[in-house]
């Protein structure tokens, strides 16, 4: 998300992410938690940065995530910000506050049969599963889960809830976030098992715009697991939530003009 030469990137991951794809100017890189698809790319991205770009680049996450990334990259220590849930910082004209959310278990929580089926699918691709597990060994998998409330210089307020809005989410958590951190735009990851639960959380958060994305689609495709048809789901959400604009980030590199979306 960009505004007046200020860019905030949350959980940047995948082959489409590189300095050539990021706007010039100041940038704040935010990692919501320590899983590979959320912070695994950041150390490599920072190692490959031009020294001049690093001066205007900041990293923000929990200390558990920031410290190992900083150890593996040339980012100036003063540009690394370990913030606990409930904290806030102002960086390059952008104010970012943090809140906590709860992640679903790695295996489906509903039943032993669902867990067994999921594990069976993973076992069919042992090399890929081992590669992901190995990458996770070098990352802070037990780091806290953070959401980000971002106020851009224009005054637009964006709430990135990452994977925190799902079928097991606690209603009181969402209500507390809505009251403490109201936002014009809410961004959230969608898994196919959570599509029925999400409208309730959006109604509580009450944004003018919702931006949905799939946090794990490459992995779900790899392991032959179902994933959301984001275009269809965005249309469905728009019908279920009249008065709220719904946008979907579908392909790598897709962007939404959040300034216009918030308006």
Q: Which residue has the tokens 């704040």?
A: 28
241 within a domain of the structure (yes/no): yes
168 within a domain of the structure (yes/no): yes
Partnered with residue 26 across adjacent β-strands are 6
124 within a domain of the structure (yes/no): no
117 within a domain of the structure (yes/no): no
pLDDT band (50, 70, 90) for residue 1: low
215 within a domain of the structure (yes/no): yes
Q: Which residues of 228-242 are buried (b: 16+ CB within 10 A; e: fewer)?
A: bebeebbeebeeebe
In angstroms, rounded to a whole number, what is the distance separating the alpha carbons of residues 25 and 22?
A: 9
Q: Which of 233, 206, 202, 237 is nearest to 217 (CA)?
A: 233
pLDDT band (50, 70, 90) for residue 181: very high
Q: Which residue has the higher pLDDT, 88 or 132?
A: 88
Which residues lie below 8 Å from residue 230, measured CB to CB, with a gap of 6+?
Answer: 190, 212, 213, 214, 248, 249, 250
Residue-wise pLDDT tens digits, 78-121? 999 999 999 999 987 899 999 999 988 777 777 888 778 877 87
122 within a domain of the structure (yes/no): no
Q: Which residue has the higher pLDDT, 123 or 60?
A: 60
pLDDT of residue 138: 65
189 within a domain of the structure (yes/no): yes
Beta strands 157-160 and 185-189 are parallel
CATH number of the domain encompassing residue 76:
3.60.15.10
100 within a domain of the structure (yes/no): yes
Please count the structural domains in the chain.
1
CB 165 within 8 A of CB 188: yes
Residue 55 is part of which domain span? 2-107+133-262
* Count of Cβ atoms closer than 10 Å to residue 112 Cβ: 9
């Amino acid at each position: 998300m960009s505004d007046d030469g200020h860019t905030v990137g949350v959980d940047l991951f995948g082959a489409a992410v590189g300095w050539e794809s990021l706007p010039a100017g100041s940038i704040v890189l935010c990692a919501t938690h320590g899983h590979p698809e959320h912070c695994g790319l950041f150390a490599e991205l920072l190692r490959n940065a031009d020294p001049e770009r690093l001066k205007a680049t900041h990293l923000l996450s929990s200390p558990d995530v920031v410290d190992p990334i900083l150890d593996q990259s040339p980012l100036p220590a003063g540009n690394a910000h370990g913030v606990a849930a409930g904290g806030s910082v102002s960086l390059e004209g952008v104010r970012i506050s943090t809140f906590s959310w709860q992640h679903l278990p790695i295996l489906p929580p509903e039943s032993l049969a669902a867990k067994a089926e999921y594990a069976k699918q993973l076992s069919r691709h042992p090399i890929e599963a081992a590669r992901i597990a190995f990458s996770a060994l070098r990352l802070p998998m037990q780091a806290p889960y953070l959401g980000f409330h971002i106020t851009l210089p224009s005054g637009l307020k964006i709430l990135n809830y990452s994977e925190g809005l799902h079928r097991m989410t606690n209603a009181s958590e969402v209500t507390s976030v809505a009251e403490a951190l109201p936002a014009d735009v809410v961004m959230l990851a969608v898994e196919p098992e959570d599509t029925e639960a999400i409208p309730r959380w959006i109604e509580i958060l009450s944004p003018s715009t919702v931006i949905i994305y799939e946090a794990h689609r490459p992995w779900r495709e790899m392991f032959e697991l179902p994933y959301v048809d984001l275009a269809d789901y965005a249309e469905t959400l728009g019908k279920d939530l009249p008065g709220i604009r719904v946008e979907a980030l579908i392909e790598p590199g897709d962007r939404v003009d959040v300034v216009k979306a918030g308006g």
